Structure 1
Amino acid sequence: MTTLQSAVRRRRAVAAAGLVSAGLLVLSACDKPTPRVTVTVGSTSVSSEAVCYDDGNDLGQAKATKCALEKSDVKTIKVKQSETLRVGVDQKVADTGWALWINGQQMTYVYKKSYYAFDGVDLFAQQQGQAPQKTLYISIVEQDKQSSGQSKAYKGVWNFKLENSDY
């Protein structure tokens, strides 16, 4: 074997080792995907991963509330007043329990179902003396409920923007 052939083999081995190292680095930077939540109105659906999720660990109520108020990079869906809003959650989220929050405040009890339909709910209801809302932010918050009904853990938050298509 000549010196030239030996040098070429060494370069190939170094290049291959570099590619393997780069590949491992890229893979280690990948986050494990969070469970998904889907919101459906009529025949339109939007699906999202969590804005806050720590692999099923408790975020705490304060962080969950802060995450529920996060308005950047949220999926948007158009809704007519009194139209049925359907929510589908990953079975893992349903097993823990989840609640619907509107503008950072819990609006429902904790559900243990992977699907729930809010039939004919006027989410954009006009408050006395105020014009109907054009935009509403909802959150699906994974909450582990105690037997007393109080939430003992807040494990994930998924945000969606609803646009009132009647205005």
Structure 2
Amino acid sequence: MTAALISRAKGRRAAAAIGAVSLGLLTLSACEKPTELATVTVGSTTLTSEAIPGCDGNGEALSQKQIASCVSQEGGKSVEVHAGEKVRIGVDPAVAKAGWYVVAGDPVLRAPSNDTYRTFDADKLFQRTNPQTGQVSYLKEVTLLIGKLAKGQGQGTETMWHFQLKAKD
């Protein structure tokens, strides 16, 4: 009699364990890959954003037409920036591993970065250089574009984020 009770208890535990494992696998299969984020911090204000809609190549390089569309899109989160302030930009580790760049009034980085965090002078982000005369002017508002390189640097841009920076007097 006791052998039958022990056998039933083992069967119930085994069935419960199989059910728990099955439920766990089902739950994991429903999970999506987390969205990569970019963060901009100015003073005590922090903005975090997902990629520009339609500007996430999901592992593939964006076409030139897609990039032009991404650059021309309006909107994005905005923050006011005082002259002389620091603008801090952070990206997910996966973005840093692939390499990323920043464009504001002019390209900001000479080479793609593999850091997860960089700091820039606000004055540099608001400057635009005329390529014909070399004369520098300062913008009142600038779209800060952050681009993730597609696999194998030099393969184009895979994902883009943008933020609006507004000069505050």
Larger Rg: 2
* Matching of residue 154 in structure 1 with residue 157 in structure 2: yes
- Partner residue, 1:35: 36
| TM-score of the aligned structures, taking structure 2 as reference length | 0.66
Taking structure 1 as reference, are residues 143 and 61 closer, same or farther at Cα in structure 2, changes over 3 Å only? farther
Q: What is the aligned-residue identity percentage? A: 33
Distance (whole Å) between structure 2 residues aligned to residue 66 and residue 138 of structure 1: 15
- Partner residue, 1:71: 74
Runs of 4 or more consecutive aligned structure 1 residues displaced over 6 Å after TM superposition: none
Determine if contact 2:79/2:164 at 8 Å carries over to the other structure: yes
Letter in 2 for 1:70: Q
Letter in 1 for 2:102: L
Taking structure 1 as reference, are residues 56 and 106 closer, same or farther at Cα in structure 2, changes over 3 Å only? farther
Q: C-alpha root-mean-square deviation of aligned residues, in Å? A: 2.7
Equivalent runs, 1:10-159 vs 2, <5 Å: 34-51=35-52, 52-72=55-75, 74-102=76-104, 106-108=107-109, 109-119=111-121, 121-125=123-127, 128=135, 132-144=138-150, 151-159=154-162
Gaps (5+ residues) in structure 2?
A: 1-29, 130-134
User: 1:122 is paired with a residue of what secondary structure?
Assistant: helix
Distance (whole Å) between structure 1 residues aligned to residue 128 and residue 88 of structure 2: 21
Q: CA deviation at 1:59?
A: 1.0
Q: CA deviation at 1:66?
A: 2.8
Distance (whole Å) between structure 1 residues aligned to residue 119 and residue 46 of structure 2: 13
Q: CA deviation at 1:120?
A: 5.6
What CA deviation, in whole Å up to 9, does each residue of 1:19-63 have, x standing for no partner? xxxxxxxxx9xx865311000111111010001102222113442
Letter in 1 for 2:113: Y
User: 2:83 is paired with a residue of what secondary structure?
Assistant: coil
Distance (whole Å) between structure 1 residues aligned to residue 155 and residue 150 of structure 2: 6
Gaps (5+ residues) in structure 1?
A: 1-27
| TM-score of the aligned structures, taking structure 1 as reference length | 0.67
